[in-house]
Amino acid sequence: MRPRSAAWILCAAFFLGSCHSPATTNGKLTVAAAANLMDVLGEVGQAFRAKTGVEVIFSYGSTAQLATQIDNGAPFDAFAAADTEHVDSLVAAGKVTGDSRAIYALGQLALWIPEGGSSGVHELKDLAGPKIRFIAIAQPELAPYGRATVEVLNHTGLWDAVQPKLVYGTSISMARQFAASGSANAAFTAYSLVLHEKGTVLKIDSHLYKPIEQAMGVVAASAHLEEAKQFRQFLMGAEGRTILANSGYLLP
User: Mind listing the pLDDT tens digit for each residue in 41-63?
Assistant: 999 999 999 999 999 999 999 99
Main-chain dihedrals φ then ψ at residue 231, nearest 5 degrees: -65, -45
| Residue 250: strand, helix, or coil | strand
**Same domain, yes or no: 39 and 63:** yes
Average pLDDT of span 16-45: 71
4 pLDDT more than 80: no
Main-chain dihedrals φ then ψ at residue 18, nearest 5 degrees: -150, 140
* pLDDT tens by residue, 175-228: 999 999 999 999 999 999 999 999 999 999 999 999 999 999 999 999 999 999
- pLDDT of res. 219: 98
**Any domain includes 251:** no
**Any domain includes 252:** no
Q: How far is CA 228 from CA 61, 188, 234, in A?
A: 19, 32, 10
20 pLDDT more than 50: no
Contacts of 218 (CB under 8 A, 6+ apart): 77, 78, 96, 97, 100, 225, 228, 229, 232
- pLDDT of res. 153: 98
- pLDDT of res. 210: 97
**Any domain includes 118:** yes
Main-chain dihedrals φ then ψ at residue 189, nearest 5 degrees: -150, -175
Looking at the 3D structure of the chain, how many domains does it have?
Answer: 2
**Same domain, yes or no: 31 and 45:** yes
pLDDT band, residue 22 (cuts 50/70/90): very low
Say what the pTM is.
0.85
Cα 6 from chain centroid? 17
**Any domain includes 3:** no
**Same domain, yes or no: 168 and 203:** yes
* pLDDT tens by residue, 74-124: 999 999 999 999 999 999 999 999 999 999 999 999 999 998 878 888 999
| CATH number of the structural domain spanning residue 227 | 3.40.190.10
**Same domain, yes or no: 101 and 112:** no
**Same domain, yes or no: 216 and 97:** yes
- pLDDT of res. 250: 97
**CA nearest 205: which of 151, 129, 132?**
151
Which segments of 119-237 does DSSP mark as H helices, in order?
A: 144-155, 159-162, 172-181, 191-194, 225-236
Domain carrying residue 90: 13-106+211-246
**Same domain, yes or no: 79 and 143:** no
pLDDT band, residue 25 (cuts 50/70/90): very low
**Any domain includes 166:** yes
**Any domain includes 234:** yes
Query: Per mean pLDDT, which range of 4-8, 33-37, 133-137, 157-161 is the poorest?
Result: 4-8
Residue 220: CB atoms within 10 A of its CB come to: 16
**Same domain, yes or no: 26 and 40:** yes
* pLDDT tens by residue, 152-178: 999 999 999 999 999 999 999 999 999
**Same domain, yes or no: 242 and 159:** no
**CA nearest 85: which of 73, 96, 72?**
96
Q: How many CA atoms lie within 13 A of 215 on its CB side?
A: 23
**Same domain, yes or no: 200 and 218:** no
**CA nearest 93: which of 78, 66, 73?**
73
**Any domain includes 8:** no
Average pLDDT of span 23-49: 86
Cβ–Cβ under 8 Å, residues 108 and 203: yes
**Any domain includes 6:** no
